Structure 1
Amino acid sequence: MRRVPSEPRTGWRETVESQGLVFPVTVRPDGTERPYWNENAYYELGAAEVDQLEEATEQLHGMCLEAARHLASGAMGPLGLPEGSLRLAQASLDAGTPSLYGRFDLRYAGVDEGPPKLLEYNADTPTGLLESAVVQWFWLEDTHPDRDQWNSLHERLVAAWQDLAPRLTQPVWFAHHEGEATGEEWMTVTYLRDTAEQAGLATQGITMGQIGYNEAAEYFVGHEAQMLRTCFKLYPWEDMLREPFGRWVEPRPNPMYGTTWLEPPWKVLLSNKALLAALWHLYPGHELLLPAYLDEPHGLTEWVAKPLHGREGASIRVHAEGIEHEQPGGYGAEGWCYQQWCPLPQLDGNKVVLGSWVVDGRAAGVGIRESDGWITDDDARFVPHLIDTASPSEAQRAAWVDDDRRGPGR
């Protein structure tokens, strides 16, 4: 894996905005701008590195499903969640409620530096999807059309909706939080809605604030009191369960009146940083994991303290040789997970995190972010990538996705 300096395309900002990336720059508190989309460089991965990352991603996904059941049992406490949350998650697991996608954040420096290490799992409300699936693909076609990219996200999302369709009552509602100012969440939901429509599903858009509940009939409603039978929401489960409507999110005796939520309630377990401690408890010493414990470091001399419900690096504390750092943020009252400090690899002075995507249980591609500091926060930059192999045909790419769909257990 290497970082290669590159000349940005003329009019790059207008180009990526036209592709849906309405947040191409990060606006800092002082009003200055810094590119979020950064094509002053690109990352080049070898075929062996992609194979290693793909295998690790799918192995981690399977391990996390096992950890979810451990967490749902209450063996590691309430996880800072409201009463009844674990029961809801367990019922969702038992019912086999489907999941669409997620993103592992990995520490990785290349095949010669050993296996990737799991930093966290963005399992419930992962963003960075549009730039990973669409914008960097168009960058590749514009700049290196003869090269490949580890990126089957779009094809796999469409295929996943097709596979899920028999289990979903249409229309599928797509909800985002209207208070998010950058447009990132709105565009993420808009893109996912587009993939569902490409798969042939009927859809409707809504904001979280427009969702209501009919207490007399006991079901969730959208516009004009229409029943919400299926709803994709880009909104954290731990927040939704604390809100007044949260008490109504429970398995219904009559499934005709229930709502299928995507992501499902059991994802509240995997988006919780307690997952890291659960994995280490279930798979101690595993090569893809870092030691992690709840509530205290348990003998770790260098550690990162992560709030259980933290997002975008907020409230994280680092205690390591020569580093004492605390990120601002309002998290932590819900509890902490202490994870072994493992400094990010640095390429040309940039600290690098790989976001490895999972769609319908299969590895689907990567988005790479780099930061100046040790914590990957909302000041990070997204940098496109390519693979040092020739570009396959569209027919070959489609065949790979189709082969996976017909794989064992499908």
Structure 2
Amino acid sequence: MKRIVVNERPDWKAQAEACGFTIHSMYGQRYWDERHAYAFSLEEIETKLEEPSARLLEMCYAAAERIACNGELMRRMAIPPAYHDAILRSWRNREHDLYGRFDLSYDGSGPAKLLEFNADTPTSLFESAVFQWQWLEDMKQRGELPSSADQFNSLHERLINAIRVLAAPSGRMHFAGMLESEEDLVTLNYLADCAVQAGCEAKLIAMPDIGIDDTHWLIDLEDERIDRLFKLYPLEDMVREPFGRHLPLTPTRVIEPLWKLTLSNKGLLPVLWDMFPGHENLLPAYFEDDPRIGGLGDRYVRKPLLSREGANVTLVNHEAGSGIYQAEGPYGEEGYIRQAMHLLPRFGNDWTVIGSWVVAGQPAGIGIREDDTPITRDTSRFVPHYIES
């Protein structure tokens, strides 16, 4: 794994706008950053990222089984008791999920370490699946990269195939989210386009516009029943809102399914460590009321059970500087876990995290983000990668 300085394409912004990647810059700063790229060997991709991601996913499915069958564990993870039976039913029925993203710390040596699993509503999907592939093809055509350069990226094809299965037998799927969020809209438009390429009928709908009929079907603004609903909206929020009480009753198949509540929670990390202690791709992690947290010493990471984009994560006595480093945010009242300190690798002045995507139960590619701080946030930059021949 190397970070390579490369030339920016002079027309990259125009290309981004043309293909709908309107969030190439956010908060007045560049989000897409192609001034450099990360180079990997094929063996490194296969043995250090792809194979560990497959193993981690299998371990997560085993953890989902344990959590879904254990009401006390679900309560410890702040999953509302009213949904425990529905979660177990959803898991037992093997309701299909679509995708997720492991955040991994890897620097080219040693095993990749799982920092967390974004199992429900991860973004940065379009730039991972489409725009960095377009970058690769352009760079090869311009002679900036060898013609033999490749990329760990089967996201687009896997998403199309997975959506085709999820939408069956009707072939209709609604895609819902907070449409005023440009980042969410880019992701939803992309997934809807994947559905069209899969031969399905796709409709976009705002979350507040979803209704419910007398038989608990979710309906759209035309009172049409929603057969399949992909929602780019957190399950942990839905189950705490009035709308959520309909989820265990509705015949609408909601994606991600309710059992994903067992994985979209930082409580997954101590469960994994308890089930697979010492695994090379895991870090020691414990619920905060577990007396074993003393084994972490005075250097650890404190994470809320429910948190996104690094919010309310605290690094205690990290190597990057003495004392505490904390990202602000609205989370934490549900409780915390502690995880062994394992800082992201630093390339130049940037801290780098690898997002390893899984689609329909299979590893599907990576996306890399950089930040000026050791906590990856919503202001982090996306950097492309390639595989050297």
Settle same-fold status: TM greater than 0.5: yes
Aligned to 1:148, what secondary structure does the other structure show?
A: coil
Partners of 2:263 and 2:41 in 1: how far apart?
A: 30
Partners of 1:144 and 1:298 in 2: how far apart?
A: 52
Deviation track 1:323-366 (CA, whole Å, cap 9, x = no partner) reads 41121111000111111110111112211100000011111100
* Equivalent in the alignment of 1:6: 6
Corresponding letter in the other structure for 2:255: L
After superposition, where does 1:233-252 map in structure 2 within 5 Å? 233-251=231-249
Corresponding letter in the other structure for 1:104: F
Question: How far is the alpha carbon of 1:54 from its aligned partner?
Answer: 0.6
Partners of 2:129 and 2:370 in 1: how far apart?
A: 18
Partners of 1:290 and 1:299 in 2: how far apart?
A: 12
Aligned to 2:332, what secondary structure does the other structure show?
A: coil
* Equivalent in the alignment of 2:114: 118
* Equivalent in the alignment of 1:343: 343
Partners of 2:349 and 2:72 in 1: how far apart?
A: 42
Question: How far is the alpha carbon of 1:75 from its aligned partner?
Answer: 4.2
Partners of 2:177 and 2:39 in 1: how far apart?
A: 34
Which moved further from structure 2: 203-212 or 219-228? 219-228
Against the structure 1 CA distance between its residues 153 and 77, is the aligned structure 2 distance closer, same or farther, given a 3 Å change threshold?
Answer: closer
Question: How far is the alpha carbon of 1:299 from its aligned partner?
Answer: 2.4
CA contact (8 A) 1:174 1:205 kept: yes
1:290 aligns with 2:290: no
After superposition, where does 1:47-62 map in structure 2 within 5 Å? 47-52=42-47, 53-62=49-58
* Equivalent in the alignment of 2:32: 37
Aligned to 1:144, what secondary structure does the other structure show?
A: helix
Question: How far is the alpha carbon of 1:245 from its aligned partner?
Answer: 1.4
Which moved further from structure 2: 9-18 or 190-199? 9-18
Aligned to 1:87, what secondary structure does the other structure show?
A: helix
After superposition, where does 1:97-176 map in structure 2 within 5 Å? 97-110=95-108, 113-145=109-141, 146=147, 147-166=149-168, 168-176=169-177
Root-mean-square deviation (Å): 1.4
Question: How far is the alpha carbon of 1:77 from its aligned partner?
Answer: 4.1
Deviation track 1:8-55 (CA, whole Å, cap 9, x = no partner) reads 11122222122221111121xxxxx22100001000011111102110
Deviation track 1:113-159 (CA, whole Å, cap 9, x = no partner) reads 11111001111101010000000011011112411111111111112
1:263 to 256, 264, 267: 256
* Equivalent in the alignment of 1:304: 301
Deviation track 1:263-282 (CA, whole Å, cap 9, x = no partner) reads 11111111100010110011
Question: How far is the alpha carbon of 1:74 from its aligned partner?
Answer: 2.4
Aligned to 1:63, what secondary structure does the other structure show?
A: helix
* Equivalent in the alignment of 1:315: 312
Partners of 2:74 and 2:90 in 1: how far apart?
A: 18
Partners of 1:122 and 1:187 in 2: how far apart?
A: 18
* Equivalent in the alignment of 1:276: 269
Partners of 2:370 and 2:216 in 1: how far apart?
A: 46
Corresponding letter in the other structure for 2:379: D
Against the structure 1 CA distance between its residues 179 and 387, is the aligned structure 2 distance closer, same or farther, given a 3 Å change threshold?
Answer: same
* Equivalent in the alignment of 1:210: 209
Question: How far is the alpha carbon of 1:218 from its aligned partner?
Answer: 2.5
Partners of 2:81 and 2:212 in 1: how far apart?
A: 20
CA contact (8 A) 1:20 1:130 kept: no
Runs of 4+ deviating beyond 6 Å: none
Corresponding letter in the other structure for 2:353: V
Corresponding letter in the other structure for 1:157: L
Deviation track 1:355-392 (CA, whole Å, cap 9, x = no partner) reads 00001111110000011101000121000010002xxx
CA contact (8 A) 1:36 1:380 kept: yes
CA contact (8 A) 1:213 1:219 kept: yes
Question: How far is the alpha carbon of 1:86 from its aligned partner?
Answer: 2.4
CA contact (8 A) 1:293 1:339 kept: yes
Question: How far is the alpha carbon of 1:165 from its aligned partner?
Answer: 4.0
Against the structure 1 CA distance between its residues 77 and 261, is the aligned structure 2 distance closer, same or farther, given a 3 Å change threshold?
Answer: closer
Deviation track 1:236-292 (CA, whole Å, cap 9, x = no partner) reads 00101111111111146xxxxx01011111111111000101100110111110000
Partners of 1:164 and 1:178 in 2: how far apart?
A: 23
CA contact (8 A) 2:301 2:313 kept: yes
Partners of 1:350 and 1:139 in 2: how far apart?
A: 21
CA contact (8 A) 1:107 1:354 kept: yes
CA contact (8 A) 1:178 1:209 kept: no
* Equivalent in the alignment of 2:89: 91
Corresponding letter in the other structure for 2:116: E
Corresponding pairs, count: 373
Corresponding letter in the other structure for 1:344: L
Compute the TM-score of the two structures, normalised by the length of structure 1.
0.88
Deviation track 1:57-111 (CA, whole Å, cap 9, x = no partner) reads 111111001101212222424122323222221111011100111111000111x
CA contact (8 A) 1:213 1:221 kept: yes
Aligned to 2:258, what secondary structure does the other structure show?
A: coil
Partners of 2:330 and 2:294 in 1: how far apart?
A: 25
Partners of 2:84 and 2:388 in 1: how far apart?
A: 45
Aligned to 2:295, what secondary structure does the other structure show?
A: coil
Corresponding letter in the other structure for 1:172: M
Aligned to 1:104, what secondary structure does the other structure show?
A: strand
CA contact (8 A) 1:213 1:245 kept: no
Which moved further from structure 2: 92-101 or 10-19? 10-19
